[in-house]
Chains A and B, each alone.
Chain A
Amino acid sequence: MAGIGFELRKLLSKESYASLFQAYAYAGIISSGPWILSIVGIMVIGLLSVTVVVPAYQVVQFQVSVTYIMVTSLVLTGTVQLAFTRFIADRLYEKKDGLVLPNFNGLMLIVMAVSGVLGMAAVLLLFPQESDAYRILLLSAFVIMCCIWVATLFLSGMKQYKEIVWLFALGYAITVVAALVLRKGGLEGLLLGFVIGHFVLLTGMITLTLRNYPSDRFIAFDFVRSGAMYPTLMVTGLFYNLGVWADKLLFWYFPDTGQDVIGPLRASLIYDLPVFLAYLAIIPGMAVFLVRIETDFVEYFHKFYNSVREGGSLDFIEQMRDEMVFTIRQALFEIIKIQSIAVLVVFVAGPTLLRLAGISELYLSLLYVDVVAAGLQVVLLGLLNIFFYLDKRAYVMFLTALFLILNLGLTAVTLQLGAAFYGYGFAVALLITVFVAMRLLEHKLARLEYETFMLQ
């Protein structure tokens, strides 16, 4: 989220508690807005539909279908997410702004084709018992969602954070309204509402893009040339998204913890809700992380490289390095402090929340573990972001691979060990990955000047 730092610094420069709060709120909305809106939107649709018209199982089928669309679209577009963002950043750095839009259109076309073919194969082969309407809507939703992620990453690359949040808010408002209007149509009605809302969201994003970034060419495929996108970034994007979802997938498909919902799609009643609650609890952590990294860290990061380039003294260069280390330490401490508060809140409110959701309080410990784990995920995200700043792509790839493997392996082990251990797989996987990442970062920062001067 480079570039957001400028707006945050502007807010922080007023030096009042109100502006500090404003900065954190801004950062929280920017960093977490889209997925909070999507989680909340889907939950609202469920809550408002369930008792009125639609049978409860159809609401669950709708929510699970949407969840799968989210997961599969994120994993699929995850391969280009980082690599294409970097491609755009490099072109902008070269002042070749005109190349950005045609390549965005090219990527959009490819993603549409690939997601269309894969989605078509999936609905044809995996959902033979479902209605044609459901299958068509599922396919449409999948392709639209993939396109939305691509458009989101383009607009983020263009630093249109506020616009993204507004478009998501608009899209989900329409989704909720349309779904409620069409809920008489049951599962298909709800899904049609989802498709309509997201189509509007996508259309809005594309309109914004085309209007703001005119180009003399409509479409280009420079990004597919060999060397245009970093393979390490493609692999990293895939690993990260798979890693984040690995434990959930295992819980869905493990016989003791998952249930069939629709076609081949399964869900885990006991695991899913605590995890989603936990993700809501990390919003403050995300906000803090964004503010600290994008303002303090980036400031010293730039000072460091400027002093290297423009002839600073060695003392000054090393001082800037130390300041970078200090701001990272500060940011991590603040994330931990804020997340501790979030954890305490969940500890207090947890029993009530579970009771409301109709989940046995036996799974309270799972919720607690998940909140801690989600907090660690924020820390990991922060560390990966710092490695990206330092252009250590190989480190990030290694860490995401480690996270994926650990999450798969440890979650599988906890499933065997029994209900008392649920959630620990995800948490311990993150704990180990964060620990390794911090050791790597420590090592890397200790010799930053050596590498900067001698090995580049």
Chain B
Amino acid sequence: MAAPGMATKAAADERRADSADVALLLEGTFPYVAGGVSSWVNQIIRGFPDLRFAVIFIGSRSSDYGAIKYALPDNVVHLENHYLHDYIDSTVIEELPGDRGLFDKVDRMHEYFRAPLSHPESAGLFTELSDQLGSSLDHRQFLYSGEAWEFIRKMYRRFCTDPSFVDYFWTVRTMHTPIWVLSGIADRLLPVRVFHTISTGYAGFLGALCKRRHGKPLILSEHGIYTKERKIDLFSAQWIADNRTVFQRDTTEVSYFRQMWIRFFEALGRACYDASDSIIALYETNRLRQVADGADPARTRNIPNGINLPAFAALRPLRPAATPPVLCLIGRVVPIKDVKTFVRAMRTVVNRLPEAEAWIAGPEDEDKSYAEECHNLVEGLGLTGKVKFLGFQKLPNLLPKIGLVVLSSISEALPLVLLEGYAAGVPAVSTDVGSCRQLIYGLDEEDKALGASGRVVGIADPQGLAEAAIELLSDQDKWNAAARAGMARVEKYYAQDRMFASYREVYESALSTPPSGSPEAAPATACPHRD
């Protein structure tokens, strides 16, 4: 139902197969958007040439995406694109009574999503109701039935703190429409053996529906935490109405429609966590976050990103005998990397180690005014000649010439530069964000026993950063120990082969799982062409 008959540039990219092994459910990433997650998807597909992948791309509007960004590997046998906001409502307005009993269940399902822990008895309602999305709870029932109207009225009275009923009404309508679009996609999906979604959100929700419809296992790999990222977007979104007057508005209280959207994505995430057989995080902090958001701990695990170890290990012999007193920040010059803290720290470092230098290796064109501020700061602190902006650099040229990889970021997930530095024999100093603590001090006892592969410092703490760098650079033994720990850690836990092995294990266990869960375990008849 995604825009029937719409000829889009993306339609030309589509591939068709009658069946596939793994359906990748991708929301706004591969193959139309370049970035970390997309590269990872590309890596996975190429890492499993023996598996046939179907790519189900979910986007906002077809006009939001340009040409395909990756050469599609041959084992992508199927590619279909769906755009949630291009959806054209083709239902005919008609008066319907609606089923009171079903809407009571919908009510209880919403109670569950609002407070899962206090309504454990309603946990199964989502799966039960999702079976009816094509029949007694189809889109027409939601749009036109008298019971749906009563339900919306009831919920508005019970919860809504924004005065505007019309905004509430249309927020409810707009928000829920993708549910039926996704349900239609799930119904028409080609037969596959495993569903693999790379986020919660719409794609994860589609995964939950697919699992229920087709009875095949669902794998969830989360890089960031979708719900958290959505929340950050929603807090700053301008398109959400807030009709409270000055007197009604309590600045500590988020506008009701924002809360609704946040809860909606939380519910999508919850449905996905509940349905997933295997929930994979990149690192421990995120795994804990998933558990806090409702994921069953028994089904969660970490599979960190892996790097191409031999390529970087080959750089080790190129290093000079004496450690170069060079601190290098590898990354774009943007506020999230907090380059200024790094520059400020250099003032202290240079005071104590006059021969030390700081290199900033990354493009400066993304936030030009920020880059200029950084340059000014360097000048202001009298560090000209000591702090060098190198622009984009190829890592194999860079890594042998530096003594420390530095990250002063205020947010990171699992930064590959730390691992690449380790592999090339360079320890790191990083702020305590994302997985950095895990990468530097180790996760479990065995990992910790490898020793610290650098130092972790606080966010926006130039003094702490400087002290840590000086400690490593001025004591060759400590530096050597850290470098050894880094090499050991990356070899043991973060090699690409290890990531592939972990995923092979996940795929194989899923592929051998007998069909379960669905009343109609046999895959729906293949639909080789949409609409």
User: Which residues of A approach B to under 8 Å, CB–CB?
Assistant: 308-314, 317, 447, 449-450, 453-456
Q: Is B528 located at the chain interface by the 8 A CB criterion?
A: no
Query: Given A455-B93, A455-B95 in contact, is the A311-B146 Cβ separation under 8 Å?
Result: no
As a 0/1 sequence over residues 78 to 120 of chain B, the CB contacts with chain A under 8 angstroms (1 = contact) are 0000000000000001010000000000000000000000000
- Smallest distance from the beta carbon of A137 to chain B beta carbons, Å? 54
B window 140-194: CB within 8 A of A: 143-146, 148-149, 153, 156-157, 163-167, 169
CB atoms of A454 and B243 under 8 A apart: no
As a 0/1 sequence over residues 231 to 256 of chain B, the CB contacts with chain A under 8 angstroms (1 = contact) are 00000000001010000000000000
CB atoms of B165 and A455 under 8 A apart: no
A-B CB contacts (within 8 Å), total count: 40
**Chain B contacts for A314, CB-based, 8 A:** 153, 156-157, 165
Q: How large is the interface on B (under 10, 10 to 19, 20 to 34, 35 or more residues)?
A: 10 to 19
- Smallest distance from the beta carbon of B423 to chain A beta carbons, Å? 58
B window 410-457: CB within 8 A of A: none
CB atoms of A311 and B148 under 8 A apart: no
What separation, in Å, do the CA atoms of A301 and B16 have in the docked complex?
Answer: 55
What is the chain B residue whose CB lies nearest that of A453?
B169
What is the chain A residue whose CB lies nearest that of B152?
A453
**Chain B contacts for A447, CB-based, 8 A:** 146
CB atoms of A312 and B143 under 8 A apart: no
CB atoms of B165 and A312 under 8 A apart: yes
Known: A313-B165, A314-B153. 19 other contacts (CB 8 A): A308-B165, A308-B166, A309-B166, A310-B166, A311-B163, A311-B243, A312-B165, A313-B163, A314-B156, A314-B157, A317-B165, A447-B146, A450-B146, A453-B166, A454-B143, A454-B145, A454-B146, A454-B148, A456-B93
What is the chain B residue whose CB lies nearest that of A309?
B166
- Smallest distance from the beta carbon of A357 to chain B beta carbons, Å? 53
B149 partner, pick from A308, A312, A317, A454, beta carbons under 8 A: A454
What is the chain A residue whose CB lies nearest that of B167?
A311
**Chain A contacts for B243, CB-based, 8 A:** 311
What is the chain A residue whose CB lies nearest that of B146?
A450
**Chain A contacts for B165, CB-based, 8 A:** 308, 311-314, 317
CB atoms of A312 and B148 under 8 A apart: no
Name 22 A/B residue pairs within 8 A (Cβ), A-sorted. A308-B165, A308-B166, A310-B166, A311-B164, A311-B165, A311-B166, A311-B167, A312-B164, A313-B163, A313-B165, A314-B153, A314-B157, A314-B165, A317-B165, A449-B149, A453-B149, A453-B166, A453-B169, A454-B148, A454-B149, A455-B93, A455-B144
Closest CB pairs A-B (n = 7): A311-B164, A314-B165, A450-B149, A313-B163, A454-B149, A311-B243, A311-B166
What separation, in Å, do the CA atoms of A312 and B169 have in the docked complex?
Answer: 12
**Chain B contacts for A309, CB-based, 8 A:** 166
**Chain A contacts for B153, CB-based, 8 A:** 314
**Chain A contacts for B166, CB-based, 8 A:** 308-312, 453
**Chain A contacts for B163, CB-based, 8 A:** 311-313
What is the chain A residue whose CB lies nearest that of B243?
A311
- Smallest distance from the beta carbon of B59 to chain A beta carbons, Å? 29
What separation, in Å, do the CA atoms of A454 and B145 have in the docked complex?
Answer: 8
What is the chain A residue whose CB lies nearest that of B94?
A455
What is the chain B residue whose CB lies nearest that of A313?
B163
**Chain B contacts for A455, CB-based, 8 A:** 93, 95, 144
**Chain A contacts for B143, CB-based, 8 A:** 454
**Chain B contacts for A310, CB-based, 8 A:** 166
- Smallest distance from the beta carbon of A261 to chain B beta carbons, Å? 52
What is the chain A residue whose CB lies nearest that of B142?
A454
- Smallest distance from the beta carbon of B240 to chain A beta carbons, Å? 14
**Chain A contacts for B149, CB-based, 8 A:** 449-450, 453-454
As a 0/1 sequence over residues 202 to 218 of chain B, the CB contacts with chain A under 8 angstroms (1 = contact) are 00000000000000000
**Chain A contacts for B95, CB-based, 8 A:** 455
- Smallest distance from the beta carbon of B173 to chain A beta carbons, Å? 9
- Smallest distance from the beta carbon of B221 to chain A beta carbons, Å? 40
- Smallest distance from the beta carbon of A450 to chain B beta carbons, Å? 5
CB atoms of B157 and A454 under 8 A apart: no
Max chain B C-beta neighbours (<10 A), residue from A312, A313, A447, A454: A454
**Chain A contacts for B146, CB-based, 8 A:** 447, 450, 454
What is the chain A residue whose CB lies nearest that of B164?
A311
- Smallest distance from the beta carbon of A399 to chain B beta carbons, Å? 20
What is the chain A residue whose CB lies nearest that of B170?
A453
What separation, in Å, do the CA atoms of A192 and B298 have in the docked complex?
Answer: 102
**Chain A contacts for B169, CB-based, 8 A:** 453
**Chain B contacts for A453, CB-based, 8 A:** 149, 166, 169
- Smallest distance from the beta carbon of B164 to chain A beta carbons, Å? 3
**Chain A contacts for B145, CB-based, 8 A:** 454
- Smallest distance from the beta carbon of B87 to chain A beta carbons, Å? 19
What separation, in Å, do the CA atoms of A449 and B146 have in the docked complex?
Answer: 11
- Smallest distance from the beta carbon of B151 to chain A beta carbons, Å? 11
- Smallest distance from the beta carbon of B272 to chain A beta carbons, Å? 30
What is the chain A residue whose CB lies nearest that of B150?
A450
Max chain A C-beta neighbours (<10 A), residue from B148, B164, B165, B243: B165
What is the chain B residue whose CB lies nearest that of A451?
B95
- Smallest distance from the beta carbon of B105 to chain A beta carbons, Å? 20
What separation, in Å, do the CA atoms of A450 and B163 have in the docked complex?
Answer: 18
What separation, in Å, do the CA atoms of A454 and B243 have in the docked complex?
Answer: 22
**Chain B contacts for A317, CB-based, 8 A:** 165
- Smallest distance from the beta carbon of B172 to chain A beta carbons, Å? 10
**Chain B contacts for A449, CB-based, 8 A:** 149
**Chain A contacts for B144, CB-based, 8 A:** 454-455
- Smallest distance from the beta carbon of B160 to chain A beta carbons, Å? 8
What separation, in Å, do the CA atoms of A310 and B163 have in the docked complex?
Answer: 11
- Smallest distance from the beta carbon of B81 to chain A beta carbons, Å? 31
What is the chain B residue whose CB lies nearest that of A308?
B166
What separation, in Å, do the CA atoms of A310 and B157 have in the docked complex?
Answer: 18
What is the chain A residue whose CB lies nearest that of B166?
A311
What separation, in Å, do the CA atoms of A312 and B168 have in the docked complex?
Answer: 10
- Smallest distance from the beta carbon of A319 to chain B beta carbons, Å? 12
**Chain B contacts for A456, CB-based, 8 A:** 93
What is the chain A residue whose CB lies nearest that of B149?
A450
- Smallest distance from the beta carbon of B355 to chain A beta carbons, Å? 67
**Chain B contacts for A313, CB-based, 8 A:** 163-165
What separation, in Å, do the CA atoms of A308 and B164 have in the docked complex?
Answer: 9
What separation, in Å, do the CA atoms of A449 and B95 have in the docked complex?
Answer: 13
What separation, in Å, do the CA atoms of A308 and B167 have in the docked complex?
Answer: 10
**Chain A contacts for B93, CB-based, 8 A:** 455-456
What separation, in Å, do the CA atoms of A356 and B468 have in the docked complex?
Answer: 120
What is the chain B residue whose CB lies nearest that of A312?
B165
What separation, in Å, do the CA atoms of A308 and B143 have in the docked complex?
Answer: 17
**Chain B contacts for A308, CB-based, 8 A:** 165-166
- Smallest distance from the beta carbon of A312 to chain B beta carbons, Å? 6
What separation, in Å, do the CA atoms of A312 and B241 have in the docked complex?
Answer: 13
What is the chain B residue whose CB lies nearest that of A317?
B165
**Chain A contacts for B167, CB-based, 8 A:** 311
- Smallest distance from the beta carbon of A180 to chain B beta carbons, Å? 61
What separation, in Å, do the CA atoms of A324 and B157 have in the docked complex?
Answer: 22
What is the chain B residue whose CB lies nearest that of A450?
B149
- Smallest distance from the beta carbon of A298 to chain B beta carbons, Å? 21
- Smallest distance from the beta carbon of A309 to chain B beta carbons, Å? 7
What separation, in Å, do the CA atoms of A52 and B165 have in the docked complex?
Answer: 73
**Chain B contacts for A311, CB-based, 8 A:** 163-167, 241, 243
What separation, in Å, do the CA atoms of A453 and B148 have in the docked complex?
Answer: 11
What separation, in Å, do the CA atoms of A447 and B149 have in the docked complex?
Answer: 10
**Chain B contacts for A454, CB-based, 8 A:** 143-146, 148-149
What separation, in Å, do the CA atoms of A85 and B392 have in the docked complex?
Answer: 72
What separation, in Å, do the CA atoms of A313 and B165 have in the docked complex?
Answer: 5
- Smallest distance from the beta carbon of B103 to chain A beta carbons, Å? 14
What separation, in Å, do the CA atoms of A453 and B146 have in the docked complex?
Answer: 11
What separation, in Å, do the CA atoms of A313 and B157 have in the docked complex?
Answer: 9
What separation, in Å, do the CA atoms of A333 and B157 have in the docked complex?
Answer: 34
- Smallest distance from the beta carbon of B91 to chain A beta carbons, Å? 12
What separation, in Å, do the CA atoms of A384 and B165 have in the docked complex?
Answer: 30
What separation, in Å, do the CA atoms of A316 and B523 have in the docked complex?
Answer: 50
**Chain A contacts for B148, CB-based, 8 A:** 454
What separation, in Å, do the CA atoms of A455 and B92 have in the docked complex?
Answer: 10
What separation, in Å, do the CA atoms of A172 and B157 have in the docked complex?
Answer: 60
